[in-house]
Structure 1
C-alpha cells in the first residue's frame, strides 16, 4: 500500500481552487483519530481545527498565547489547547513530552503556524528568524513527536509551504544572512522552500512505516500572517476592491479562509492520497512542476522538490535543531 508513486503532477481530484474546507471534509470521518495543528487558533489553522474536530478527531492545538487560543476554541468539545513556542526548543520538547506521555498514536500533524516578511532577527542559535520558526521549529516538533506518528501506522504530516517558495531556494552557504544583505521576502521564500523540502525528506524516512508527508500552498488569504506588512504592501497584492472590501477570486489565488484551509485538509484526509507522499499540493490537487523562471504562478519550482536538496536540508536541520528521532533531542 505504501509503495504507490505519484509524479509531481495533477490528478483527477473532485475539488478545485474554489473548494472549501466543508467541501473537502463532507464525506470524511475521523472518529478515534488524534490530530495536532500548530497555529490552530487563528486564520487557516482555526478553520482546519474546526473541520477536523467536527469530523470526529480529537485535536490538540499548541499555542504560544493560551488565553487567545482558549477563547477561539472554547466552543469545540473535541479540542484541547496546550502550551508551545516554536522558537523555543525547550518548549517544543516539553509539549512533545506531554503528548507522548498520553501514549496515544498521532494520525495527523499539520504544521500550519508561521511568520512572514518579518524584520531582521536571529534566534539564540544565530539562525535567521523566519527559517528558525517556519522550518526548524516544525522540524524539531515533528522529530519529537515521531514515536507517536510511527505508532499510528498510517499517519500524515502536512507542512504549510507557499507559492512564496518561488522567491528563493535555500541558500546553504548563508542561510542566516551573515554575508548577504537581509531581504525579508527572500528569507520568507527560503523558509517556504524548506517547508516543501522537509516534506520530501520526511516522506522518504516515514513511508515504510506508513507515515506520509505533504507540503501545501493554501492560496493567498489576508490574515494574521500579514501583520508585518505595511498597508502599501498589502494593497500591492490586490486583495481589496475599490470600496475596501476583500476580493475573493480563487482563480487568481485570492481565497477565503475556508478555501485556504481546503488543500491542507485534502492532503491530511483524502483517500486519493493513500499510500503516496512527498508531494507539493495546491488547489486541492497535486501541483504541476513549474518551469525555471516562473514566479507568482501556479506550480512548484524544481528546487523545492529536489531530493538531493532535501537531504542537504535534512543534514543542516539536524545540525541546528537536533538529530531527528533522537530521545531526548540535543
Structure 2
C-alpha cells in the first residue's frame, strides 16, 4: 500500500514544547477554535496559539470556569457548548457563523477517558458521543467558516488508545456489555477515521485534517481513575507524584496538536496521524502501541463511520 503515513523528519520530537514548535510562526490575524481549550492540554494549546498571535475561541460546557482559566491569556473568548448535546452544538455554531468570521484552525481537544458507563442524547455511549459525534456535528455545522478560512486545518486529538479497539460495528454503543477502556479506544479510533474522511472531503476547499497521539500526560483527563489504579499502572507513586519518566509535561503534550495545526512542513498533506511532533509510521505489529493501526486510517472504514455519524446526528456536510 502506498501511503504518506511516514515520518518526515520534522526536527522536533517527544520532548518538544508547544512554544518551541511555534518558534518563528506568526499567527496574527488568524482565528483558532479549541474545544476543551481551558483545561489540561487544551489550555496549553490555547496559551501557545494566543502567544503566537492567534485569536482563540474556546467553546466550554462550563463557561465561568473557562473564563477563570483563560483570564491571564489575551486574545481569547469563551462560548457556551456542550458536545454531548446536539442542540447546544447547533446553537453554538449558529452564534459563531452569525459573526461572519472564518476559522483558520480548529482543534478538537475535548474528550473523556475511562469514564463509568453513561448514556447521553438518545442513548449514545458517552465516549463515542463526546469525543466523536459532538465534534462530527460541530465541524460540519462550522463548515462554511472553515471554507472561508481559505486553507483551514482541522486537528482531532486522538490517542494511542486507538490500538485497543477498532470500530465495533456490531455494538458501537456498548449495549451488550460495557468496558470503559474499549469504549475509550473505539472513540479514539473514530477520531482518527474522522480526520481521514474529513481530509478527503475538504481538500478541494483547502481544508486539511490531521489526528494525533499527544503522549502520556497527567491532566484532568484521568479524573475517572482512582489513585490506586494509577499507582498500579506505574503512572504515579503512592504520594501522587508522577512516576513514569516517559510521561510528558502539559507543554510537551500540547506540542503535537499545535505542530499539526500550524507547521508549514505539512502544507499539501492531510489525513495523517501524528505523534511526537511528526507524522507517525503505521504500527508494525499488535501489542506495540506506537504508530497508527491500519484499521484507523482505512479509507473505507472512514467513509463508513462518516455516513454512520451523519445518520446519527442528522447533520449534513456544510
Structure 1 stretch 269-278 or stretch 236-245: which is displaced more?
236-245
How many residue pairs get aligned? The number is 317
CA contact (8 A) 1:292 1:302 kept: no
- What displacement does 1:208 show? 1.1
Q: Paired residue for 2:198, among 199, 202, 208?
A: 202
1:178 to partner: Cα distance: 1.6
Q: Which residue among 9, 13, 18 is the counterpart of 1:12?
A: 9
Question: Over aligned residues, Cα RMSD in angstroms?
Answer: 1.4
Partner of 1:54: 51
Q: Which whole-Å CA distance do the structure 1 matches of 2:238 and 2:226 have between them?
A: 18
Segment drifting more, 196-205 vs 123-132 = 123-132
| CA deviation vs aligned residue, 1:92-134 (integer Å, no higher than 9, x gap) | 1111111111111100000000011111122131211110010
Partner of 1:114: 111
Instruction: Provide the C-alpha distance between the structure 1 equivalents of 2:272 and 2:100, rounded to a whole number of angstroms.
Output: 30
The match for 1:143 is: 140
Unaligned runs of 5+ in 2: none
Residues 285-329 of structure 1, C-alpha deviations (whole Å, 9 max, x = no match): 00110034234x311111111001001101110111123325xxx
**Alpha-carbon distance between aligned partners in 2 of 1:105 and 1:248, rounded to the nearest angstrom:** 41
Asked if 2 retains the 8 angstrom alpha-carbon contact of 1:291 and 1:302, the reply is: no
Q: Secondary structure at the match of 1:293?
A: coil
1:281 aligns with 2:274: yes
Contact 1:150/1:210 (CA < 8 Å) preserved in 2?
yes
- Counterpart-to-counterpart distance in 1, 2:228 and 2:200: 42
1:248 Cα deviation from its structure 2 partner: 6.4
Residue in structure 2 matched with residue 245 of structure 1 by the alignment: 241
Query: 312, 317, 321: which is aligned to 2:309?
Result: 317
**Do the aligned partners of 1:167 and 1:190 also contact (CA within 8 Å) in 2?**
yes
The match for 2:207 among 207, 211, 214 is: 211
1:223-234 correspondence runs (5 A)? 223-234=219-230
**1:178-235: CA deviations, max 9, x gaps?**
23x1100000000000000000010000011110000010011111111111112212
Q: CA deviation at 1:143?
A: 0.5
Q: Using the alignment, how far apart are the partners of 2:285 and 2:298 within structure 1?
A: 13
**Partner-residue secondary structure (3-state), 2:119:** coil
Distance in structure 1 (CA, Å) of the matches to 2:259 and 2:34: 14
Preserved CA contact (<8 Å) 1:37 1:62: yes
- Farther off after superposition, 232-241 or 91-100: 232-241
Which runs of 5 or more residues in structure 1 are unaligned?
none
CA distance in 1, matches of 2:243, 2:214: 16
Q: How does 1:1-330 map to 2 (within 5 A)?
A: 7-179=4-176, 181-241=177-237, 244-247=240-243, 249=245, 252=246, 254-295=247-288, 297-326=289-318
CA–CA distance in structure 2, aligned partners of residues 77 and 94 of structure 1: 25
State the distance in 2 between where 1:6 and 1:178 align. Answer: 36
What is the rounded CA distance, in whole Å, between the counterparts of 1:94 and 1:237 in structure 2? Answer: 41
Deviation of 1:27 (Å): 1.2
Distance in 2 separating the partners of 1:12 and 1:55: 23
When normalised by structure 2's length, the TM-score is 0.96
Q: Give 1:243 deviation, angstroms.
A: 5.9
Do the aligned residues in 1 keep the contact of 2:42 with 2:109 (CA within 8 Å)?
Answer: yes
Instruction: Calculate the TM-score normalised by the size of structure 1.
Output: 0.93
